[in-house]
Chains A and B, each alone.
Chain A
Amino acid sequence: MSVDLDKLFIYPKHWVDEDARSFSTTIRQWADKEIISDRLNYQQNYTLLFPEKCRKLGIDIGLKRLVLSEKYDGYGWNSPSYAPAILTAFTEIGRGDASIGLANALDYAIFATITMHPNIKDDLCDALAPLYLSDKLKTSTAILPGAGINDRKTPLFRGMSVLAGIAADDNEYVVSGENLRPFGFGKASDLLCVVCAQSSGKICLAFVPADISGVKKGLPIKQTGLDASENTDISFESVRIPKEYIISRDGAVEELYVWLNLLLGGVSIGAAMNFFEILTEWAQSRTIKGGIPMKENPLCASVLATVAQEITCARLLCYSLSQIMADPLALRGIGGESIYTIARMIGSSVQDSALNALNRGMELMGSAGYAREWHVEKHWRDIKTVQSSLCGVAADIPVKMDIARFFYDCKEVCS
């Protein structure tokens, strides 16, 4: 039986306009046709099929154009008011494949820092938009603050170490840093958005095309999930970038986090929704105690209920975040303290819920949930990978410190 996900996991549809809904329907069709009905093949041939599936979504359907203004041949969703719409789209992508979700979330979040009203950075858009929209599929990744290394005092972004440095030299900037871990897709990415620290300690974003001299990519990293995202550590040996390739306005790094929390929230919820579809079918057809349908057993039903509850609440929370983002001026912009804190708080809670939905639901599926062929374990690994990566370091402590600072006006904790 196929379930009508939007009737079950309701969301405030009036926050998403007709065009955006029909765009999301197209993505759902893409996910059904390109991924869900072809999962095994896709899973066994990521190297070949990932670029192909991404191209269909990004170029044929036009996902990549969303974040760009009409001036660059984009669809002009470059205003925060589109946050609910873009969340809807990313939920559909996540339902298909979280790796594709992450690739696009990174693209969108990174470009949002330069294309989004009211902070459009024309010079950088002029330089990067044509590259990004070229026929050859381009991907980008972010290098965010994270764990520091003992005995090395580093500049901090809200307690997390910023290991990349940047310094002005004539008309250029020079980026340096060793073995830095990207959020994902380190191997394939063409554009690196690096959170860097200037010698003054000021934190900024540097846009580094990956083919510039001095950018060194390491060996592939084997990781828990997001199998299509081949990651690797990246070093910058005195990499020179044009002056306009950095953003040093206040709140830019925060914005990146806000968008990533929203979009990856959507991706994980989408993955959990696809798990819900699989679980529903399982619980309807599987019998226990010698013949009772699993879903009619009260103990199993209560676990099934937890799964649905986690997904529903997480989805609603994410939409609340998107709606808050949609009217940022009241809250001092997307990179402002208030939206940043709410995004981190909701982002962390949504990932927890999505993972809990998987963890609990898998209890009912016995070995099937653990076998590759059922595709449940894939969603479980993918969501966990997103969750840990989004933490950065120290589990949810950095988020808790952000919250504590905001709500209790803490001055000194881990800043």
Chain B
Amino acid sequence: MKHFDDFSRPLEYISPMDKHLRTVIRKWADEEVLPFRRRFDEDWKEHKLIEPAFDKLMGNKGLGLQKALFPEELGGWGLGHSDSTFMTSYALSEEVGRADTGMAVAFLVTLWPLTTILIEPHVNWRLAKEFAPMFCNSDCAVFSALTMTEPQGGADIENIGLLGGKTLRTTARLDGDEWVINGHKLWPTNSAGVSKLFGVPCTTKLGSSDLDDFAIIFVPTDTKGVSEGNPYEKAGMAADKNSDIWFEDVRVPSWYRAHGPVLDAQTFVEVIPWGQVASCGFLTGAMLNLYERLYEFVSTRTYCNRTLKENDAVAGVIGRIAGDIDICRILGHEAARIGDRRNMPFGNELGSEETIAKIRNIKDFISDKSVEIFGRAMDVLGAYGPDREWDIEKHWRDVKIIQLWMGGKQLCQMEAARYFFNCKTL
């Protein structure tokens, strides 16, 4: 194999923009991230090193990727009405993930709440126009967040199929032509003062599991009553800041609700595959980088005075690692393609039980494989495995949370069982 690009992916799925996007992001990664990322962990609070790299990725003075989903007529790239939105998002996730999965999540989560209002057929033009200048006219990176998780648990909120949002404690009350929001959120990517805009899943009736009562309301973060805590210190993912968010009688115009009864719940269900596919991209991106670094180690270090990769037993281990990367990459692309098939005659709706279950399943599989092969690769490096200089340990710390977020592993397993075995009572 000549290059990590040669890991398999179904070439007939690849979007026309793929090559160009990958080339420019790879250049960005090589220049703006890779020389600095070993110092990112110490920069978790300030983002002094990390912020300039975001500006060059997302803002107009760089690649301008934060405007990708907005329609062309509003200054965006119109990715929201492309037939390859998922595949393109996958390529973005993978390339940024190769450099740093924390940066990848912070960037892709910016697009995440916007998927509810910018992706065909659910484009909310009034909100698109309202928020386009924020993202399309900025030289610097502008972030948003999707604030699902609450102190009592994030999994139940994402488990909307079973619980219908009944555990949500963040409430929205209509007062004249304004929503009044109260509640407490935890952990959203791009919190701790990073974002300009929140997408806030909440309920219009506390304790209700009626999907009519589920709402997604957009809240500019400078609105009175919004406050955020300091960033949490974590095992990894230094480029993503997470904190508490409080909403105290926060008032926003009534039309800041994504769509309205039922459709809000539907677009929330559709948000899940976006997050899962991006997660797959982060992981396979990190795996590509694992391969690069591992290749160097096993080609320059020896066991039994033979280059590591030329020892049969070691070759068995690294062969399996590369084989797993190859399979995961094919699967990740398949997950993206399931998403892009939503508009095709043979595809399924994004919110269908089949799509949700299959994409969650692939994400669960790739996550497990990642945790396993990054750990294994560290052991191949042995005494050098925990050493930051070899980069693999950073990815090992980073990727663990990808396995745990978005409702966690067990939710993925339950969705798979429900779909594949027609379970009725789980």
A contact residues vs B (CB 8 Å cutoff): 144, 146-150, 152-154, 156, 159-161, 181, 183, 221-226, 286-290, 299-300, 303, 355, 359, 362-367, 369-373, 377, 380-381, 384-385, 387-389, 391-398, 400-401, 414-415
Residues from chain B with a CB closer than 8 A to the CB of A146 are 382-383
Which residue of the partner chain, among B232, B313, B403, contacts A414 with CB atoms under 8 Å?
B313
Q: Report the minimum CB–CB distance from A356 to chain B (whole Å).
A: 10
Tell me what chain A mostly uses at the interface: helix, strand, loop, or mixed.
mixed
The answer to whether B174 has its CB under 8 Å from any CB of chain A is no
B379 touches A388 (CB 8 A): yes
Instruction: Identify the interface centre among B187, B300, B379, B387: most chain A CB within 10 Å of its CB.
Output: B379
Residues from chain A with a CB closer than 8 A to the CB of B152 are 287
The answer to whether B52 has its CB under 8 Å from any CB of chain A is no
A367 touches B385 (CB 8 A): no
Tell me what chain B mostly uses at the interface: helix, strand, loop, or mixed.
helix
Instruction: Identify the interface centre among B149, B400, B414: most chain A CB within 10 Å of its CB.
Output: B400
Q: How far, in angstroms, from A384 to B405 measured CA to CA in the complex?
A: 21
Q: How far, in angstroms, from A367 to B400 measured CA to CA in the complex?
A: 10
Which residue of the partner chain, among B300, B381, B389, B410, contacts A393 with CB atoms under 8 Å?
B381
B379 touches A387 (CB 8 A): yes
Instruction: Identify the interface centre among B153, B313, B405, B413: most chain A CB within 10 Å of its CB.
Output: B313
Q: Which single residue of chain B is at the shortest CB-CB distance from A398? A: B303
A373 touches B414 (CB 8 A): no
Residues 253 to 299 of chain B near chain A (Cβ within 8 Å): 299
A370 touches B413 (CB 8 A): no
Q: Which single residue of chain A is at the shortest CB-CB distance from B389? A: A221
Residues from chain A with a CB closer than 8 A to the CB of B186 are 367
Residues 144 to 172 of chain B near chain A (Cβ within 8 Å): 149, 152-156, 159, 162-163, 166-167
Which residue of the partner chain, among A224, A290, A381, A414, contacts B167 with CB atoms under 8 Å?
A290
Closest 8 CB pairs of A and B: A388-B385, A148-B302, A393-B382, A377-B235, A224-B386, A395-B379, A222-B388, A372-B233
B contact residues vs A (CB 8 Å cutoff): 38, 41, 149, 152-156, 159, 162-163, 166-167, 186-187, 232-236, 242, 299-305, 307-308, 311, 313-314, 317, 371, 375-376, 378-389, 393, 396-397, 400-401, 403-405, 408-410, 413-414
B408 touches A366 (CB 8 A): yes
Q: How far, in angstroms, from A147 to B384 measured CA to CA in the complex?
A: 9
B386 touches A159 (CB 8 A): no
* 23 contacting pairs across A/B (C-beta < 8 A): A149-B302, A153-B305, A156-B305, A160-B303, A221-B387, A221-B389, A222-B41, A223-B386, A224-B393, A287-B152, A289-B162, A355-B375, A359-B375, A364-B410, A365-B404, A366-B155, A372-B232, A372-B233, A373-B233, A388-B385, A392-B382, A397-B303, A401-B313
Q: Which single residue of chain A is at the shortest CB-CB distance from B159? A: A289
Residues from chain A with a CB closer than 8 A to the CB of B167 are 290
Residues from chain A with a CB closer than 8 A to the CB of B38 are 222
Q: How far, in angstroms, from A146 to B401 measured CA to CA in the complex?
A: 31
A395 touches B404 (CB 8 A): no
A367 touches B404 (CB 8 A): yes
Q: How far, in angstroms, from A373 to B311 measured CA to CA in the complex?
A: 43
Given A146-B382, A289-B156, check contact A384 B396 (CB 8 Å).
yes
Q: How far, in angstroms, from A369 to B301 measured CA to CA in the complex?
A: 35
Q: Which single residue of chain A is at the shortest CB-CB distance from B404? A: A366
Q: How far, in angstroms, from A400 to B313 measured CA to CA in the complex?
A: 9
Q: How far, in angstroms, from A217 to B403 measured CA to CA in the complex?
A: 39
A366 touches B154 (CB 8 A): yes
Residues from chain A with a CB closer than 8 A to the CB of B413 are 299
A367 touches B405 (CB 8 A): yes
Q: Which single residue of chain B is at the shortest CB-CB distance from A360? A: B409
A391 touches B382 (CB 8 A): yes
Given A156-B304, A362-B404, A381-B235, check contact A181 B410 (CB 8 Å).
no
Residues from chain A with a CB closer than 8 A to the CB of B389 are 221-222
Q: How far, in angstroms, from A371 to B242 measured CA to CA in the complex?
A: 10
Residues from chain A with a CB closer than 8 A to the CB of B408 are 363-364, 366
Q: Report the minimum CB–CB distance from B244 to chain A (whole Å).
A: 12
Given A366-B155, A388-B382, check contact A290 B409 (CB 8 Å).
no
Q: Which single residue of chain A is at the shortest CB-CB distance from B317? A: A395
Q: How far, in angstroms, from A398 to B152 measured CA to CA in the complex?
A: 46
Residues from chain A with a CB closer than 8 A to the CB of B187 are 367
Residues from chain B with a CB closer than 8 A to the CB of A396 are 379
A370 touches B302 (CB 8 A): no
B410 touches A414 (CB 8 A): no
Q: How far, in angstroms, from A161 to B311 measured CA to CA in the complex?
A: 14
Q: Which single residue of chain B is at the shortest CB-CB distance from A43? A: B233
Residues from chain B with a CB closer than 8 A to the CB of A414 are 303-304, 311, 313
Q: Report the minimum CB–CB distance from A154 to chain B (whole Å).
A: 6
Q: Report the minimum CB–CB distance from A354 to chain B (whole Å).
A: 12
Q: Report the minimum CB–CB distance from B36 to chain A (whole Å).
A: 14
Q: How far, in angstroms, from A153 to B235 measured CA to CA in the complex?
A: 39
Which residue of the partner chain, among A148, A303, A363, contacts B403 with CB atoms under 8 Å?
A363
Q: Which single residue of chain B is at the shortest CB-CB distance from A378? A: B235
Residues from chain A with a CB closer than 8 A to the CB of B381 are 147, 388, 393
Q: How far, in angstroms, from A290 to B160 measured CA to CA in the complex?
A: 11
A287 touches B234 (CB 8 A): no
Residues from chain B with a CB closer than 8 A to the CB of A367 are 149, 154, 186-187, 242, 401, 404-405
Residues from chain B with a CB closer than 8 A to the CB of A359 are 371, 375, 400
Residues from chain A with a CB closer than 8 A to the CB of B382 are 146-147, 388-389, 391-395
Which residue of the partner chain, among B153, B235, B242, contacts A287 with CB atoms under 8 Å?
B153
A288 touches B156 (CB 8 A): yes
Residues from chain B with a CB closer than 8 A to the CB of A370 are 234-236, 400-401, 404
Given A221-B389, A400-B313, check contact A159 B232 (CB 8 Å).
no
Residues from chain B with a CB closer than 8 A to the CB of A392 are 382-383
Which residue of the partner chain, among A183, A290, A391, A397, contacts B313 with CB atoms under 8 Å?
A397
Residues from chain A with a CB closer than 8 A to the CB of B155 are 288, 366
B404 touches A299 (CB 8 A): no
Q: Report the minimum CB–CB distance from A148 to chain B (whole Å).
A: 4
B302 touches A161 (CB 8 A): yes
A380 touches B233 (CB 8 A): no
Residues from chain B with a CB closer than 8 A to the CB of A300 are 410
Q: Report the minimum CB–CB distance from B99 to chain A (whole Å).
A: 18
Given A156-B305, A391-B382, A398-B303, check contact A299 B400 (CB 8 Å).
no
Residues from chain A with a CB closer than 8 A to the CB of B242 are 367
Which residue of the partner chain, among A152, A289, A290, A393, contacts B303 with CB atoms under 8 Å?
A393
